[in-house]
């Protein structure tokens, strides 16, 4: 997920205008689409002003492209996939159309068994789908310093889960940002404001496709 040097430097991800396209809810101009970004510090915006957090920047980018959308920030610094499962019911309120699920980085940094992470993510997805809430998956990747076996098992979580659950997948949330010192805070792990803008730029097409798949609701 992150370069080995970044992990050694920082440890855990820890506390401290286009027209709207048709199809699904994304084509329903009569109402605002409500999406929850359920994640860890990468979603929460650790070390940044609130206006620079991923959900805020993503919402602004979507609105600039004609999307009537609200992105709720349900990121919790230090959270794991199991932690996300424990709070999913109250973090994702009734009336939510879709969830962008970004969890697992802290599991990897702690060396959690990938089977544990996968089960938690799978249960989150199943619980949300059972409530009629669509899910888009934001993937993570393991660092090289964990060894080939761990990397293979961890990296397989996201594409496997996406296939089995029929989810739209953005393969690597930190694509183009991880390992770039200019796009990360001094801890070497969390994106700067510019890093967040880079993430949004890369994930935006996938999020737009996701919105286009959301079922229209009365």
Q: What is the pTM of this model?
A: 0.88
Inter-residue contact 53 to 37 (CB < 8 Å)? no
Which residue in 141, 118, 128 sits closest to 35, CA to CA? 128
Q: Which CATH superfamily is domain 4-213 in?
A: SGNH hydrolase (3.40.50.1110)
Q: Is 190 among the residues known to form the active site?
A: yes
Cα dihedral: 33, 28, 19, 60 (round 10): -10
- Whole-number mean pLDDT of the chain? 89
Q: Where are the domains of the chain?
A: 4-213
Residues 7-34: what's their mean pLDDT? 51
Task: Pick the catalytic residue from 40, 41, 91, 143.
Answer: 41
Q: What percent of the chain has pLDDT above 70? A: 85
pLDDT at 1: 39
- What integer pLDDT is reported at residue 145 of this predicted model? 87
Is the separation of the CB atoms in 114 and 154 below 8 Å? yes
The one catalytic residue in 122, 175, 180, 187 is: 187
Dump pLDDT digits (tens) for 149-206. 999 999 999 999 999 999 999 999 999 999 999 999 999 899 999 999 999 999 999 9
| Residue 30 appears among annotated catalytic residues | no
Q: Is the pLDDT score of 17 beyond 60?
A: no
């Amino acid at each position: 997920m992150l370069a080995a040097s970044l992990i050694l430097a920082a440890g855990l991800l820890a506390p401290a205008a286009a027209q709207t396209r048709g199809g699904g809810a994304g084509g329903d101009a009569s109402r605002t689409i409500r999406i929850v970004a359920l994640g860890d510090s990468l979603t929460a915006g650790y070390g940044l002003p609130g206006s620079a957090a991923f959900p805020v920047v993503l919402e602004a980018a979507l609105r600039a492209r004609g999307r009537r959308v609200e992105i709720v920030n349900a990121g919790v610094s230090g959270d794991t996939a199991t932690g996300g499962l424990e709070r999913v019911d109250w973090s994702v309120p009734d009336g939510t159309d879709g969830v962008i699920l970004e969890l697992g980085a802290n599991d990897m940094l702690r060396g959690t068994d990938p089977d544990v992470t996968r089960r938690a993510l799978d249960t989150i997805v199943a619980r949300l789908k059972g409530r009629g809430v669509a899910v888009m998956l934001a993937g993570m990747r393991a660092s090289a310093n964990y060894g080939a076996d761990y990397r293979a098992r961890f990296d397989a979580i996201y594409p496997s889960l996406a296939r089995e659950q029929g989810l739209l997948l953005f393969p690597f949330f930190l694509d183009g940002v991880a390992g770039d010192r200019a796009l990360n805070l001094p801890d070497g792990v969390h994106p700067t404001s510019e890093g967040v803008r880079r993430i949004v730029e890369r994930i935006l097409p996938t999020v737009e496709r996701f919105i286009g798949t959301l079922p229209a609701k009365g």
